[in-house]
Amino acid sequence: MRQPHKSAAKHTLMPGPGRPRGAGDRPHNGAVAIDVTWKWSLVVPLKPLEVAKSRLARAAGAVRPALALAFALDTVAAALACAEVGDVTVVTDDGRAGAELAALGAFVVPDAPAGGLNAALRYGAARVRGRDPYAAVAALNGDLPALRPAELSQVLREAAGAQGRAFLADAAGVGTTLLAAPRGSALSPAFGGPSRARHLATGAREITLPHVASVRQDVDTGDDLRAALALGVGERTALAASGLLIAD
């Protein structure tokens, strides 16, 4: 199985129960200098294409399933190109989407709970930490076709300094596009509808960086798609949306 990529970041950490030491640890005044080689493991949920992005039906018509797949492919491709990301796990029961996402380099697991979005995210996070109990995990929407790797890096670097769970609100300021849980923290996702308020209520810190519009611009409606196209989308979404007259 493909192993997560590693970063060269270093932190000084106090030794604690269950924390592995690196080969180059050097005790100093009770602290241990550890080569922290983790990057973020992302979990991306995706419904079966035939039912995905149902709110886009009026704007996209018969192109909707192809757009849903293109969104996911462009999102995952950008995430895998992000310097802060070690691996991406996609939770989906769609065979075609799973095969194409795996070809990009993502881990693909079935939606075994079949209990909705948050159950899928919890399951994906559990699968990630089954591979690496010390993984830092972030849930990322699969409908970010304008996603820029550099902007995602900014968000994940901010999340890494949050001392706990952190999230990024969507462009409307109502939902959530990313929820990050560092090592030792449960993901505890509360996505869907007004999830910004729910994530705040659970103690997650809101990331309020400027200039990360591509990480906030999810696509549920025709207006959202127009906004994403204005930012500049990935090649798969551009192809799927070419010639599309977007209804209001």
Q: Are residues 66 and 143 in the same domain?
A: yes
Helices (H), the chain: 57-60, 64-80, 95-104, 117-131, 149-160, 195-201, 213-216, 222-231, 235-241
Measured CA to CA, the distance from residue 55 to residue 33 in angstroms comes to: 50
User: Is the pLDDT score of 214 beyond 90?
Assistant: yes
The torsion of the CA quartet 112, 118, 121, 125, rounded to 10 degrees, works out to -100
Here the CATH number for the domain that contains residue 134 is 3.90.550.10
Structural domain contains residue 111: yes
Structural domain contains residue 131: yes
Mean pLDDT of 216-244: 96
Structural domain contains residue 119: yes
Measured CA to CA, the distance from residue 113 to residue 176 in angstroms comes to: 22
At 111-127, the pLDDT tens digits run 999 999 999 999 999 99
**Better-predicted residue by pLDDT, 242 or 22:** 242
User: Is the pLDDT score of 30 beyond 90?
Assistant: no
Task: List 178's β-bridge partners, or say none.
Answer: 140, 168
Lookup: tokens for 143: 């409908």
Structural domain contains residue 248: no
Contact present, 224 and 187 (Cβ < 8 Å): no
Lookup: tokens for 84: 């802060």
Structural domain contains residue 82: yes
Q: Are residues 112 and 229 in the same domain?
A: yes
Q: Are residues 164 and 210 in the same domain?
A: yes
CA angle 1, 183, 181 (to 5 degrees): 95
192 is in an annotated binding site: yes
At 164-179, the pLDDT tens digits run 999 999 999 999 999 9
Structural domain contains residue 78: yes
Q: Are residues 110 and 210 in the same domain?
A: yes
At 55-96, the pLDDT tens digits run 999 999 999 999 999 999 999 999 999 999 999 999 999 999
Contacts of 210 (CB under 8 A, 6+ apart): none
Which residue segment(s) compose the domain that 163 sits in? 40-241
Q: Are residues 114 and 57 in the same domain?
A: yes
Q: Are residues 185 and 224 in the same domain?
A: yes
User: Is the pLDDT score of 9 beyond 90?
Assistant: no
Q: Are residues 119 and 33 in the same domain?
A: no
Structural domain contains residue 247: no
Structural domain contains residue 65: yes
54 is in an annotated binding site: no
Q: Are residues 211 and 90 in the same domain?
A: yes
- Residue pointed to by tokens 């996603």: 147
| Count of domains forming the chain | 2
Q: Are residues 30 and 55 in the same domain?
A: no
Q: Are residues 50 and 15 in the same domain?
A: no
Contacts of 205 (CB under 8 A, 6+ apart): 162, 164, 165, 166, 167
Q: Are residues 126 and 161 in the same domain?
A: yes
Helices (H), 63-185: 64-80, 95-104, 117-131, 149-160
Q: Measuring CA to CA, how many Å separate 245 from each of 58, 61, 63, 222, 223?
A: 11, 10, 11, 10, 12
Q: Are residues 92 and 113 in the same domain?
A: yes
124 is in an annotated binding site: no
Q: Measuring CA to CA, how many Å separate 129 from each of 126, 137, 223?
A: 5, 8, 37
